Amino acid sequence: MKRCPKREILDIKQMFLQSSSGKLNVSDLKIDPEVVREMILTLIVKNELPSRFVEVFKKENHNIREAVKSFVGRVLVTTDLWTSVSNDGYMTLTTHYIDKSWVLHKRLIKFTVLTPPHTGAHICEAVGKILTEWGIEGRLFSCTVDNTSANDVFVSHVRTNLNTKGTLVCKGEFFHIRCCAHILNLIVQDGIKLIDKAVQKVRDSVKFVKSSQARKVRFAESCGQIGLNTKRGLHGDVSTRWNSTFQMLDDVLFYRQAFNNFENLESNYRDRPTEEEWPKIQKITNFLKPFDEITKQLSSSKYPTSNLYFVNVVRIHMLLNDGSLFEEDFMLAMAYEEIHGDDKLLIDESVDRVRSAVRQLYSEYKSMTKEQWSSLTSGYEEVEDPFTKWSKRKKPRADEKSELDQYLAQDRKPSTTKYDVLAY
């Protein structure tokens, strides 16, 4: 359940509106801080919440530690940093691993304050302590981070430290994984900077409506006059998430007639897009929609996304090369900014690089000693039939293909977003 079934209003700000005699008014919401404080104290004392919070935390922490400890394979980690409105820095560290039943797991092992400075060396020190505390320092395969200079330094330090101990696969060549959703965000942001001034009018229109409760009331009245549902709401965009711009444009297109009518109800509203600009807004929204879908696919943590990366990069490449989308100059400028370096995106070369990386990983695991292999696979029961045991005694021919070559020679599976790579 994503939300309370009795909550009909999605926009929390519209919950301050009340209906009276068929008209919308701003509700006079009064909150007595002393009453609220007394209620909270009663809740804490009556239910012994402080001790229960500690007990629940200790229990869940123990369960996560046992789950991570019982898993003997390689672990992938992701980390993220952000700053609160009070300028306090925070960091999370999450582990991802596949168990012996080929089920993907995600465990948040640390949520902590990160004191300044947020340099690569400082992040490395903080992450190193967490990895040591949880006993997974020698079991890492890769670390996925956003594409920032501080993260480059941080990952480089961690890789150097782990390489001195000889714990990384292929000497850490595949250790640093850049978040493809974040890279896509940066690419589209570069293009959005060049979009038509009509989009700025949309942005200003949304800000104008959301700037006061009185304007929200008049906009709701405008929607009511033409029969539009106000539950959808208006979403403003933020600079750090490009798909918020797509959401904003999509919302405004839904309320297009309401904005046209809103001009008659609000004398100070002067940012309504013209009839010539609305089609431009529609074209930009249509262009951004596939990027929004791809971003959502690549941002999931409930299923593996590495196998979705390449096919979506090709999809973007084909989209940017579709000349029918860029018949107008304002769209062409946006696409050109996103497609720069087009000649470097050669599919054949990309496939060769992937094949080379897979072969390198295959050779690394194949060359492991029995002791190294057993340390990675202990706990993974596998029953071997007699014929397999007999066939292994045969000396392989010089021209005999490896398991990897046999796999690569198989017919490609049909491309689908619902394909479960772990069930293969």
CA angle 360-366-367, nearest 5°? 90
Residue 398, amino acid: A
pLDDT of res. 417: 59
Q: Give the pLDDT confidence score for residue 374 in this predicted structure.
A: 58
* Strand pairing category for 140-145 and 75-83: parallel
What confidence tens digit (pLDDT) does each residue in 233-253 have? Answer: 888 887 667 688 889 999 999
Q: Which domains does the chain have, with CATH numbers?
A: 72-178 (3.30.420), 189-344 (no CATH)
For residue 340, name the pLDDT band (cuts at 50, 70, 90). Answer: very low
> Closest Cα to residue 219, out of 268, 276, 274?
268
> Six-digit token pair at 180?
């493809």
pTM of the model: 0.67
Residue 419 neighbours by CB distance under 10 Å = 14
The yes-or-no verdict on residue 398 having pLDDT over 50 is yes
d(CA 46, CA 368) in angstroms, rounded, equals 59
Contact partners, residue 263, CB within 8 Å, separation at least 6: 269, 272
Per residue in 35-47, pLDDT (tens digit) is 887 887 787 777 7
- Mean pLDDT of the region 221-225: 92
pLDDT at position 420? 74
d(CA 268, CA 274): 16
d(CA 378, CA 72): 7
Judged against a pLDDT cut of 70, whether residue 111 lies above it is answered with yes
Cis peptide before 304 (omega within 30 of 0): no
